[in-house]
Amino acid sequence: MSTFVDEKPTQELEAFKGVKKVPHEEYYTSGHRTCQGCESAQIMKLMAKAAGPRTIILGSTGCMYVANTSYYATPWGVPWMHTQLGSSGSAALGAAASLRVQMRKGVMKDEPINVIAFCGDGGGADMGLGAISATMCHPDYNLLILMYDNESYANTDIQISGTSPYGVNTSFSTPGKVKRIMNHRWKKNMAPLMLVGHPTVKYVGTISTSYPLQAMNSVRKALSVGGPTFIHCLNPCPKGWDFDPVLSFELGELAVNTGIWPLYEVENGKLKLYGKTEQIASGRFKRLPVRDYLLKQGRFAHFIEEDIDYFQSKIDDMWNKWLVPGIIPLQKDIETE
């Protein structure tokens, strides 16, 4: 009677076949007070819509808590709970374990209930990384961690996080008289980190709110495949990135078209590239220069030519030198003795 992994059935959410097939029901509605052009709020809406009503959502501290969920004005049409900044992993694990044991003991109706914990880049890639990593090692619990990434601590006045881009101007990395570049860190490669570091994870994906259908279907697949899953979503932020809110959608597209933000998923070890990312990888689309993306944003206004060149060279390396272009940063050439 040995059970290697004690799996529970999931809801088996089929992919939406097109925008016209997407249901009208919203589970993230009015009541939030996020900024104009906020793409992080957009992924909340898409995520809740994709998951549907039999869902519990746990939200770590960040914009999507503080600006999103005010007393007496909650936008959530599914049960929602605040969790601490570094606790998205633990929150999802605790909720999933609780449902499982109560269903087993017969004190709660036995049915698949989606458990989603979301976190920002600060909560996920920085403070909560350990807890998420631990949760990714528990194959018996069905849950999704969704990290919305606006590339800064955007709720606390825009400070650099582990996923902020190189050289970015934030309130903790302001250019000065002597130092033009205060952030020398390169963006943390979160989805592959979750994938490669946790071999039993069945689904990891990257999404962008500029591609809403793929974003929703990624959430649906992550909730259906079973076990712990992880999605990393890039969310342009007008306030933090310093651009006109009308450009939110376009910047999301440019991040993909410049090759900075590859869109892909890995399901049961099988890699699938999406849209322009797939075309870039197969040589059918020539990556746009990163300058087209960088110069539309005030946070890079202090960049001089050599900074743009450096940024471009790093993106070129990603596509030309990496073992899995855009994803896994091992060199293609493997040394043998």
Partner 1 sequence: MATLTLPVEEKKKGTEQEALITGAEAIAIACKLANVDVVTAYPIRPYDTVMQYISQLVADGEMDCEYIVAEGEHSQFEIVKHASVCGARVFCGSSGVGWMYAMEALTVTPALRIPLIAMVGNRALDDPGAFGVEHNDALAVRDLGWMLTWVDSAQEALDTALIAYRVAEDRRMFVPLAISCDGAFLTHSQALVKIPTAEQVKKFLPAYNRGDLLLHPDNVISVAPQVNEDWVMEIRRQNFAVTEIACDVIREVYAEFEKTFGRKYGNPFFEEYMTEDAEVVLLGMGTLSTPVKVAIRKMREQGKKVGFVRLRWFRPFAGKEIGKCLERFKAIGVLDRDFSFGSPDLSGVVATEVRSAMYSNSKTRPPVIGFIGGLGGREVTVPDVESMTDIVFQAAQGKAQPLTQWIGLRG
- Residues lying near partner 1 in the complex (CB under 8 A) are found at 53-56, 58, 65-66, 69-71, 73-74, 76-84, 86-87, 89-95, 97-102, 104-105, 107-108, 113, 130-131, 133-134, 138
Element (H, E) at 148: strand 143-149
DSSP strand pairing (264-267 vs 270-273): antiparallel
Cβ neighbours of 161 (radius 10 Å): 25
Q: Indicate the residue among 55 and 214 with the shorter CB distance to partner 1.
A: 55
* Nearest in space to 273 (alpha carbons), one of 200, 333, 324: 324
Q: Write down the least CB distance from residue 193 to partner 1, Å.
A: 15
Q: Please identify, using beta-carbon distances, which residue of 68 and 210 lies nearer to partner 1.
A: 68
Q: Which is nearer to partner 1, 4 or 71 (CB)?
A: 71
91/237 with CB nearer partner 1 = 91
The two three-digit tokens of residue 306, written as one number? 């050599």
- Judging by beta carbons within 10 Å of its beta carbon (0-12, 13-18, 19+), is residue 282 exposed, middle or buried? exposed
Minimum distance from residue 86 beta carbon to partner 1 (Å): 7
| 328-331/270-273 β-pairing | unpaired
Q: How far is the CB of 68 from partner 1 (least distance, A)?
A: 8
Task: Strands of 268-336 (E only): list them.
Answer: 270-273, 322-324, 328-331
Chain centroid to CA 63:
14
Minimum CB distance to partner 1, residue 243 (Å): 26
- Closest CB 56 distance from partner 1, rounded Å: 6
Q: Choose between 135 and 214: whose C-beta lies nearer to partner 1.
A: 135
Amino acid, res. 8: K
